[in-house]
């Protein structure tokens, strides 16, 4: 009988010790998650050149030659999800001094490409959702902070149109843009193009205002674990050549897009240009 009691106590002790040393994350545990945006033109890196530079580095499927002088987009409303019901939505506050949850990814500014989400509940994740552009709750007249603040360079059009969500500028062989001297040292070079895709609402009695904000959901193709000391990363490739090819762009007629309606064809293919290249389980850097 004493032997049986000793065995039972020993088994209980081992069980409790095993629970205490379980490597699985506790419900209260949190970690961080990184989303790295890597801009490409097809398989090529983006090499920014000066507006008007006629050394065309890229070519669309229908033979349109071009280069890129500026590329950027707003990323907001990042959501992480997992196979077991894991869910985390990045905190959003447009009026905060740092406009929480809104990120302005700009080619040539490496610090903007890597977005780190903190306080993510420990668990397993296999997909990410994000918005390209700024939705209604981010269009706060006179109250936006951080990257949304026009005084800090925020891409704000006006109250009705909202923000430019995605923009690419460059020079194209077939562009019909003429040289324009705007005065005070400002000018538009010949052969350039500027495609500004924005607008946050449809207006029933005004077809010029359309909602060009788009939501993108990407599967990782595997799972990663967030936990104490674990900071997995999703490497997302943004291929602007896909946008040009999907819209069969003709720079001869489409070289100046600065209004919601004109940008709608490009907004309608934005979901196609983002893809997860790979994920890292735990890293503080990117490939």
Compute the distance between CA of residue 126 and CA of residue 149 in angstroms, rounded to an integer: 33
The pLDDT assigned to 141 comes to: 66
The pLDDT assigned to 205 comes to: 72
> In the chain, which residues have pLDDT < 70?
1-27, 141-142, 283-287
8-state DSSP, 143: T
Residue 23 burial (C-beta neighbours within 10 Å; 0-12, 13-18, 19+): exposed
124 token code pair: 């397993």
Give domain limits for the chain: 30-280
Q: What is the pLDDT of residues 128-179, one digit of tens each?
A: 999 999 999 998 766 789 999 999 999 999 888 999 999 999 999 999 999 9
Contact by Cβ (8 Å): 15, 36: no
The pLDDT assigned to 207 comes to: 77
Q: What is the pLDDT of residues 246-269, one digit of tens each?
A: 999 999 999 999 999 999 999 999
The pLDDT assigned to 5 comes to: 46
Compute the distance between CA of residue 255 and CA of residue 196 in angstroms, rounded to an integer: 10
Cα–Cα separations (whole angstroms), residue 60 to 39, 52, 173, 246: 16, 19, 12, 10
């Amino acid at each position: 009988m004493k032997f049986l009691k000793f065995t039972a106590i020993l088994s209980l002790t081992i069980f409790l010790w095993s629970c205490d040393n379980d490597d699985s994350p506790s419900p209260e545990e949190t970690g961080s998650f990184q989303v790295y945006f890597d801009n490409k033109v097809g398989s090529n890196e983006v090499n920014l050149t000066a507006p008007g530079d006629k050394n065309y580095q890229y070519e669309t499927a229908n033979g349109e030659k071009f280069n890129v002088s500026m590329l950027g987009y707003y990323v907001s409303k990042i959501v992480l999800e997992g196979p077991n019901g894991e869910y985390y939505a990045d905190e959003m506050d447009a009026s905060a001094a740092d406009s929480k949850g809104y990120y302005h990814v700009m080619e040539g500014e490496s610090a903007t490409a890597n977005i780190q989400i903190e306080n993510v509940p420990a668990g397993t994740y296999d997909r990410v959702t994000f918005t390209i552009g700024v939705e209604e709750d981010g269009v706060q007249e006179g109250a936006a902070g951080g990257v949304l603040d026009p005084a800090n360079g925020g891409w704000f059009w006006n109250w009705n149109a909202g923000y430019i969500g995605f923009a690419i500028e460059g020079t194209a062989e077939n562009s019909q843009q003429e040289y324009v001297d705007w005065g005070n040292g400002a000018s538009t070079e010949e052969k350039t193009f500027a495609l500004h895709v924005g607008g946050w609402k449809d207006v029933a009695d005004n077809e010029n205002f359309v909602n060009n904000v788009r939501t993108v959901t990407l599967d990782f193709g595997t799972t990663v674990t967030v936990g104490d000391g674990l900071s997995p990363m999703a490497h997302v490739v943004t291929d602007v050549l896909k946008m040009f090819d999907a819209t069969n762009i003709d720079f001869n007629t489409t070289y100046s897009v600065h209004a919601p309606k004109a940008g709608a064809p490009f907004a309608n293919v934005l979901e196609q240009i983002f893809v997860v290249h790979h994920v890292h389980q735990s890293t503080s850097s990117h490939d």
